[in-house]
């Protein structure tokens, strides 16, 4: 059995700000059937500590970037979680990454260097009688672990896989923090830690990890281009032989439709309209469950919203983010009776929207994998998506060929412009007028595999290649 330590900055059910938490929470159970003993290391934020009450200390790490730190063992059902308890780094209000004023914590480099250091120590020395053979590192927050493993002389004993969930977040720190981050000055060069005059934890991971993965095959290819690589495309091209794209899956039990037929779906849509205050309509109810950012293309949707409404469609949006977009959508809700907006995040409402919506809109400018379109497929809530990243890999478009073959599961548009989105919305609303075709697409979508089975087997095979002889 492969022994793997998954290292992430968030993980359901303890702490979540986005899709990374869902992935980190789902992987251990998904991989158990593939002969993988995966355990998870996460920071001890207040919400995490509250969720593991009674968890016992299994390791003392001494002084860790400015204060004492221990590792606690917690069991969440069958899942083993190791919690890095370092109050000086994590016991504070706000989100895992942001202070209450909405700005990054100034010591974020040290906070997540500590997570990486703890992971490297567990890899080098084991913990409580268990020693991982592979460290599966998620995003920049765990990016320094391979560097620390090399410093500890343990890189020859434990394999490392770095998964890039979103390359836009790179863990940048000033070069004068090298000593504070326990990084060798001699490794600060263009082939190592240096990144345009600064330190990048993500670049460090890309350079020192044994293998690199990202969360869809298309995104893996996109990352090697200037448009999507965001300054790291050269590093990724150099590591191309070690780079692979593996699609995310979703938890099929957590996302289980309460209906199996178009009639059941229609009843949920009727109930949703009533619950959120939308008037009855003969048009499609479109939903958005997302961060409100330009990356997600939601400025484009705001621009073309009248096209949807004029065609009889409606919009229900749940999300938060950019203040201008929040204000724009609030204004749209005040102006149009067919628009309802909820600023914030509510897991129950998210499930209700996806169950009751007819179409889920994901017009992202880039999207490494995306989970909401997978939830949409599972519920027969047809995705309308941009042709990028994981959206391109998971949605079969209602093109003439797709419709003729009877395999379409949603709608795609490219390039990612307001006009192309407008055209896609018009085509979607036109197809809505053909219930037979629409219901066939719903059936296709609900039958489309969106779980972890195939991806779990791919990860398990990749871990096997990373095992090293001590």
Q: What is the mean pLDDT of each run of 10 residues along the chain (470 residues)?
A: 95 91 93 96 97 93 97 93 98 94 94 98 97 98 98 96 96 97 96 96 98 97 96 97 96 92 95 97 97 95 97 97 96 98 94 98 96 97 97 97 97 98 98 97 97 96 89
Tell me how many domains the chain contains. Answer: 2
Within-domain flag for 256: no
- Cβ–Cβ under 8 Å, residues 429 and 442: no
Report yes or no on 56 lying in a domain: yes
In a domain, residue 254? The reply is no
Q: Are residues 346 and 393 in the same domain?
A: yes
Domain annotation covers residue 432: yes
Could you list the residues known to form a binding site for ADP-alpha-D-glucose, using ranges.
Answer: 16
Does 343 reside within a domain? yes
291/214 same-domain check:
no
If asked whether residues 274 and 209 sit together in one domain, one would say: no
How high is the pLDDT of residue 159?
98
In this structure, what CATH number is given to the domain that contains residue 211? 3.40.50.2000
**Is there a single domain that holds both residue 217 and residue 269?**
no
Cβ–Cβ under 8 Å, residues 315 and 286:
yes
Which segments are annotated as binding site?
A: 16
Residue 255 lies in a domain: no
Based on the fold, state whether residues 204 and 80 are members of the same structural domain. Answer: yes
Give the 3-state secondary structure of residue 16: coil
Per-residue three-class SS string for 115-149: HHHHHHHHHHHCECCECCCEEEEECHHHCCHHHHH
Is there a single domain that holds both residue 102 and residue 158? Answer: yes
pTM score, whole prediction: 0.92
- Rounded to 10 degrees, the C-alpha dihedral 401/404/405/411 comes to 60
The domain in which residue 177 lies consists of 2-249+453-466
Q: What is the pLDDT of residues 413-440, one digit of tens each?
A: 999 999 999 999 999 999 999 999 999 9
Judgement on whether residues 135 and 244 belong to the same structural domain of the protein:
yes
Ordered DSSP codes for 377-433: HHHT-EEEEESSHHHHHH--B--HHHHHHT---BEEESS-SHHHHHHHHHHHHHHHT
The pLDDT score that the predictor gives to residue 470 is 59
């Amino acid at each position: 059995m492969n022994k793997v330590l998954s290292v992430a900055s968030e993980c359901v059910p303890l702490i979540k700000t986005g899709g990374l938490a869902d992935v980190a929470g789902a992987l251990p159970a998904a991989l158990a059937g593939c002969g993988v003993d995966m355990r998870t290391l996460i920071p001890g934020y207040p919400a995490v500590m509250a969720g593991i009450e009674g968890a016992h200390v299994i390791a003392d790490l001494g002084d860790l970037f400015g204060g004492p730190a221990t590792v606690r063992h917690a069991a969440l059902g069958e899942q083993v979680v190791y919690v890095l308890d370092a109050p000086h780094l994590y016991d504070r209000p706000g989100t895992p990454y942001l202070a209450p004023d909405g700005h990054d914590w100034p010591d974020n480099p040290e906070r997540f260097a500590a997570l990486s250091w703890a992971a490297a120590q567990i890899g080098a020395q084991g913990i409580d009688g268990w020693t991982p053979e592979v460290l599966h590192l998620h995003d920049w927050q765990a990016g320094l672990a391979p560097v620390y493993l090399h410093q500890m002389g343990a890189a020859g004993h434990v394999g490392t896989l770095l998964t890039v969930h979103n390359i836009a977040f790179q863990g940048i720190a000033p070069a004068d923090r090298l000593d504070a981050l326990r990084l060798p000055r001699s490794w600060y060069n263009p082939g190592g830690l240096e990144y345009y005059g600064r330190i990048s934890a993500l670049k460090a991971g890309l350079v020192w990890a044994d293998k690199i993965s990202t969360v869809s095959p298309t995104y893996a290819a996109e990352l090697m281009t200037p448009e999507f690589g965001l300054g790291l495309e050269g590093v990724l091209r150099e590591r191309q032989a070690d780079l692979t794209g593996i699609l995310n899956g979703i938890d099929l039990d957590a996302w289980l439709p309460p209906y199996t037929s178009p009639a059941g779906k229609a009843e949920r849509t009727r109930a949703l309209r009533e619950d959120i205050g939308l008037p009855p309509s003969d048009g499609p109810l479109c939903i958005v469950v997302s961060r409100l950012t330009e990356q997600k293309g939601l400025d484009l949707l705001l621009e073309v919203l009248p096209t949807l409404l004029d065609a009889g469609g409606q919009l229900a949006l749940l999300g938060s983010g950019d203040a201008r977009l929040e204000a724009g959508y609030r204004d749209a809700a005040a102006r149009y009776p067919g628009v309802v907006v909820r600023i914030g995040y509510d897991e129950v409402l998210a499930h209700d929207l996806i169950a009751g919506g007819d179409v889920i809109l994901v017009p992202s400018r880039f999207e490494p994998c995306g989970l909401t379109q997978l939830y949409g497929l599972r519920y027969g809530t047809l995705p309308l998506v941009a042709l990028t990243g994981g959206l391109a890999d998971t949605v079969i478009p209602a093109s003439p060929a797709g419709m003729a073959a009877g395999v379409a599961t949603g709608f795609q548009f490219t390039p990612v412009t307001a006009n192309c989105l407008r055209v896609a919305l018009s085509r979607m609303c036109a197809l809505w007028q053909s219930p037979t075709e629409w219901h066939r697409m719903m059936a296709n979508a609900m039958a489309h595999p969106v779980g972890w089975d195939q991806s779990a087997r791919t990860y398990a095979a990749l871990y096997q290649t990373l095992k090293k002889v001590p």
